Amino acid sequence: MPLTPGTRLGPYEILAPVGTGGMGEVYRARDTRLGRDVAVKILSTHLSSDPDLKWRFEREARAVSLLTHPNICCLYDIGSHDGIDFIVMEYLEGETLADRLATGLLPLQQVLKIGVEIADALDKAHRQGIIHRDFKSSNIMLPKSGAKLMDFGLAKLATATISAVPEASSQTSCLATMSVTAARAWRPSH
């Protein structure tokens, strides 16, 4: 059931819906303690009764909480209120890369800037043993501050696997992934 403006989840007051995903809804909310806007992602009530899906939701929070990087959406809190499980994240103004690409191709300099920022974010996650596993243009926000990687809901913690990968291989893998994304976003005009 969607939340209405004014609904309170502990100290978070819902302001407006932002979007929906496979596991729940995202809302813009006000953190009444700190006086700032945040994004609140709630686990759909029909999913919260499934222990595996609830665990996956909590895993996203744990994975993101391990990451501090300027190009990764920050996690602030996790909680439950009146049977609603939620995570609280940085609220980002802007559009997703998918939305931006729907309006046309990007200039090469912008593609390169986004590519470098997201490759650096993925590299940080990989070094922390976190594999995103849902890397797509709709999980990249483009606020004025620079590209931000979001939605670690399918993330896999693989510390043992990642620590065995040499440093250069991890960077090469991230840059190769971003090169494919950049090639799809930019085509030279003839």
Taking only the tens place, the pLDDT of each residue in 31-47 is 999 999 999 999 877 67
Choose, from 52, 77, 134, 151, the residue flagged as catalytic: 134
For residue 161, name the pLDDT band (cuts at 50, 70, 90).
very low
pLDDT at 137 over 70: yes
| Amino acid (1-letter code) at residue 177 | T
pLDDT at 179 over 70: no
Closest to 29 (Cα-Cα) out of 83, 69, 72, 84: 84
Facing residues of 112 across strands?
none
- Of the options 3.40.1440.10, 3.30.200.20, 3.40.50.620, 3.30.70.100, the CATH number for the domain spanning 8-90: 3.30.200.20
Closest to 60 (Cα-Cα) out of 152, 159, 126, 156: 152
Per-domain boundaries in the chain = 8-90, 95-185
Q: What is the DSSP letter of 72?
A: B
Query: Across all residues in the chain, what is the average pLDDT?
Result: 80
50 is catalytic: no
pLDDT of residue 126: 86
Facing residues of 65 across strands?
none
Pairing label, strands 8-9, 36-43: unpaired
- Of the options 2.60.40.1840, 1.10.510.10, 2.60.40.720, 2.60.40.1180, the CATH number for the domain spanning 95-185: 1.10.510.10
